[in-house]
Amino acid sequence: MDKKYNANSIEVIENLEAVRKRPGMYIGDTNSKGLHHLVREILDNSIDEYLSGFADKIIVTLNIDDSVEVEDNGRGIPIDIHSKTKKPAIETIFTTLHAGGKFGGEKSGYKISGGLHGVGSSVVNALSEFLEVIVWKDKEEYSIKFFNGGKIKEPLTLVGKTWKHGTKIKFKADKKIFATTTIDSQIVYELLEQTAYLNSKLSIIFIDNKNNKKTEFKFKNGLIDYVNLLTKEEEELTPPSLFSVKNDEMNIMFAFKYTTSIEEKIFSFVNNIETKDGGSHEVGFKLAFTKAINDYINENNLQEGGKVLEGSDIREGICAVISIFVVEKYLQFEGQTKSKLSSNKVRMFVDKAIYDNLRHYLNKNNKYALTIVKKAYESKRAKLAARKAREVSRQLIQIKGKSVINKLVPAQSNKAEERELFLVEGDSAGGSAKRGRDNKTQAILSLKGKIINTEKATIKAILENEELLSIIAAIGTGIRGDFDIRGLKYGKIIIMTDADTDGAHIQVLLLTFFYRFMQKLIKLGKVYIAYPPLFKAKDLDSKKQFYIWTNDEMKEIKKKYSKLEIQRYKGLGEMNFEQLWETTMDPETRTLIKVHVSDLDVANKRIETLMGKDVDIRRKWLERNVEFSFDDDFDKE
């Protein structure tokens, strides 16, 4: 163990202030995304111990009460007195903003750290109902407990002797701060799975007490395994390849493979933090690939008509994972949540490292090099053909759109932002929606049955599908290469389907279409799902009526009232127009679920799982994530 990791390794920059008043400055928001960011921050501390070579195992436990425990077998947080604060170092770390081993660099702190700003521990403490720390260090066990946003409940205490080494942190988010404190098991599962892929020598155990499950993640092939996971639904053109380059200040690992897909998938990480918005390392990666492939083409006289390939041509069909580790002085992120890297030094290092390795790979593997070049030129030719096809598509939408758009009942407002388009399942529900709507702001487009699965369909098939063509014509933006947000005719696009399995299937089909062909609508927060009630209940004694949205609500109502008349809505068409307006369409009383994508990797995997070809993968995912209920007691009444 490293005896130099003590209080003197901890740098203190400023006191913790106003985190509870302005939590968004530190974790992005106080909704589900910010809540799960707390887990990420505490996990980062344990990963830093692994990156520094002092830990190889992390145990994460999600409890039934939504408290979270993160344990590692690292050195253990320092517990001796800090020279500046005159308090135990562990207390300083959890009660002072910008205090931690992240700032020490070579001074016995962390040379490479994911928790860059050193605010993770203190911010989590500030936003928690309680936080408890156990440290195993120098054959002794210590504990310290906080409550109500960082107040000390029990000071640092020597518990006794131990053979263990490391740290365990347990916390529960404060319900006074967050809109919800319910931790999603699946989000934690995927975070830990991804972290294990990025760190092939690290074992991560997830104990999910909410679902009575225990999972160990350890992937000996690391990024190779990750790339294969990300492309499991696609036909392989080249096998995955892994490269690693390091110097005293930076270390880059990248893996890639090509498939027959027409998409490019690039996922990047800095010190284990996913940079969802890319940045300088992705720029360096793209520049290196473009230059290396074009140089190979020129040196081997493989040009087609003397045309230089563009980067987008070269990257069509690629799936790449870039993971870099850099010292503190080169870490420049945009924002506390670290979603985009901005460092010219990193860009230059990545550019040269990837270019040199890729040139060697191409010269050594001529078969795969020619496959990549062929794929790139096919992409270039397809784009030229697509331009012509898009013209035909525009004409087709204009011609056929005029007839299919007759199904649309338009809104009268001249302001696009205040108009809403309801995509309604079936003519019966469409009829109620037309009668109950606000004529000024709400447009209705009735859909007949299920649309085609656009995950598997061609552009030609999509443009020949009358329901999809109606949607495209009504929204006005065009699709994919022709998409132009300036043509958007509505501020909200609302999917309104029955509250049953068929309705859920139609929702998934529509969301798949929007994600694949109008993704910007989702990114801009324009797509919503309506939330109709499941039941209407009437108390026969008081004559009081209730709309009920969940089975749990129904059970609570049944406890309060003994004589109930219950109507179960198996479809929107069973409601009259007044009921549909009151429960589902009235902006004053309705509930809408905004569709958003916080993680493109997870979204891609979900769509491939639910809408792809592999039935077995879909079945296993449903068994693990969906609880099926066949309780018809409410119908029997």
Are residues 278 and 241 part of one domain?
A: yes
Instruction: Kindly state whether residue 528 falls inside one of the protein's structural domains.
Output: no
Q: Per DSSP, which regions of 213-300 are E strands?
A: 213-217, 241-246, 250-258, 265-270, 273-274
| Single residue among 317, 352, 379 that ends a domain in this structure | 379
pLDDT in tens, 545-557: 888 888 788 888 8
Q: What's the pLDDT at 108?
A: 44
Are residues 144 and 280 part of one domain?
A: no
Torsion 502-503-504-505 (CA) sign: positive
Are residues 144 and 285 part of one domain?
A: no
Per-residue pLDDT at 281 exceeds 70? yes
Q: What's the pLDDT at 99?
A: 57
Are residues 318 and 251 part of one domain?
A: yes
Are residues 188 and 293 part of one domain?
A: no
Query: Which residue in 92, 116, 84 sits closest to 103, CA to CA?
Result: 116
Instruction: Kindly state whether residue 121 falls inside one of the protein's structural domains.
Output: yes
Instruction: Kindly state whether residue 374 falls inside one of the protein's structural domains.
Output: yes
pLDDT in tens, 172-186: 999 999 989 999 999
Are residues 53 and 197 part of one domain?
A: yes
Q: What's the CATH code of the domain at 365?
A: 3.30.230.10
Instruction: Kindly state whether residue 398 falls inside one of the protein's structural domains.
Output: no
Instruction: State mean pLDDT over 183-194.
Output: 94
Per-residue pLDDT at 367 exceeds 70? yes
| Single residue among 331, 350, 379 that ends a domain in this structure | 379
Are residues 231 and 211 part of one domain?
A: no
pLDDT in tens, 601-621: 555 555 555 555 555 655 555
Q: What's the pLDDT at 116?
A: 40
| Single residue among 527, 550, 568 that ends a domain in this structure | 568
Let me know the angle formed at the C-alpha of 454 by 449 and 455, rounded to the nearest 5 degrees: 130
Are residues 137 and 55 part of one domain?
A: yes
Instruction: Kindly state whether residue 92 falls inside one of the protein's structural domains.
Output: yes
Query: Which residue in 94, 77, 100, 80 sits closest to 13, CA to CA?
Result: 100
Backbone angles phi, psi at 164, to 5 degrees: -80, 165
The pLDDT > 90 percentage for the chain reads 43
State the total domains in the chain: 3
Cβ atoms of 535 and 554 within 8 Å: the answer is: yes
Instruction: Kindly state whether residue 263 falls inside one of the protein's structural domains.
Output: yes
Q: What's the pLDDT at 504?
A: 80
What confidence tier does 450 reach under pLDDT thresholds 50, 70, 90?
low
What confidence tier does 118 reach under pLDDT thresholds 50, 70, 90?
very low
Query: Which residue in 533, 632, 634, 544 sits closest to 574, CA to CA?
Result: 533
What does the mean pLDDT of the chain come to?
83
What confidence tier does 107 reach under pLDDT thresholds 50, 70, 90?
very low
pLDDT in tens, 565-593: 888 887 787 888 999 999 999 999 898 98
pLDDT in tens, 215-255: 999 999 999 999 999 998 788 999 999 999 988 888 899 99
Instruction: Kindly state whether residue 615 falls inside one of the protein's structural domains.
Output: no
Greater pLDDT, 332 or 237: 237
Are residues 264 and 192 part of one domain?
A: no
Instruction: Kindly state whether residue 400 falls inside one of the protein's structural domains.
Output: no
Are residues 287 and 190 part of one domain?
A: no
Are residues 297 and 235 part of one domain?
A: yes
In sequence order, the 6+-apart residues with CB closer than 8 A to the CB of 72 are 45, 46, 49, 50, 55, 57, 58, 59, 166, 167, 168
Q: What's the pLDDT at 331?
A: 76
Structure tokens at 555: 């059970």
How far, in Å, CA of 404 to CA of 466, rounded?
7
Instruction: State mean pLDDT over 316-322.
Output: 93
Q: What's the pLDDT at 192?
A: 96
Are residues 35 and 140 part of one domain?
A: yes
Domain of residue 176, residue span:
7-217
Per-residue pLDDT at 10 exceeds 70? no
